[in-house]
């Protein structure tokens, strides 16, 4: 069984401020973890993924996330928010198995960036 909890359905930051979006997961098997971004009227775009290599994962658009097994967390951060970062962000977990792929998504966090 697996689940994902994203703390905070909305996060509001000022332009230039640190972005921190929280994700905690549970998984009965070693997980792969993902962060996706969704802009209005568009599909999801992969920001980054953890696949058991490095625990600190760097993604596109300046985002990064750190896998912390002891805390079962995979929080997404960006040092300096930009207006274009305003979007919906989803954390997802799936089994780290080539044959079985059924992902579980968090409910999403809407990032609001103020000028």
For residue 75, what is the enclosing H or E element? strand 73-78
Tokens at residue 18, please?
């640190």
**Closest distance to another protein from the beta carbon of 95 (Å):** 7
Q: Which one, of 110, 78, 72, 104, lies nearest residue 91 by Cα?
A: 104
User: Does residue 49 bind another protein (CB under 8 A)?
Assistant: yes
User: What string marks each residue from 7 to 46 as x (binds another protein by CB under 8 A) or -?
Assistant: -------------------------x--------xxxxxx
Residues at the interface with another protein (CB under 8 A): 32, 41-46, 49, 51, 90, 92, 94-108
């Amino acid at each position: 069984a697996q689940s994902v909890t994203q703390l905070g359905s909305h996060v509001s930051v000022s332009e230039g401020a640190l972005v921190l979006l929280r994700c905690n997961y549970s998984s009965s098997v070693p997980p792969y973890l993902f962060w996706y971004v969704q802009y209005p009227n568009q599909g999801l775009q992969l920001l980054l993924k953890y696949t058991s290599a490095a625990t600190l994962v760097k993604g596109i658009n300046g985002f990064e996330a750190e896998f912390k097994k002891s805390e079962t967390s995979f929080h997404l951060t960006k040092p300096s928010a930009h207006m274009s970062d305003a979007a919906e962000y989803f954390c997802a977990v799936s089994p780290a198995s080539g044959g079985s792929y059924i992902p579980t998504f968090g409910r999403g966090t809407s990032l609001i960036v103020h000028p």
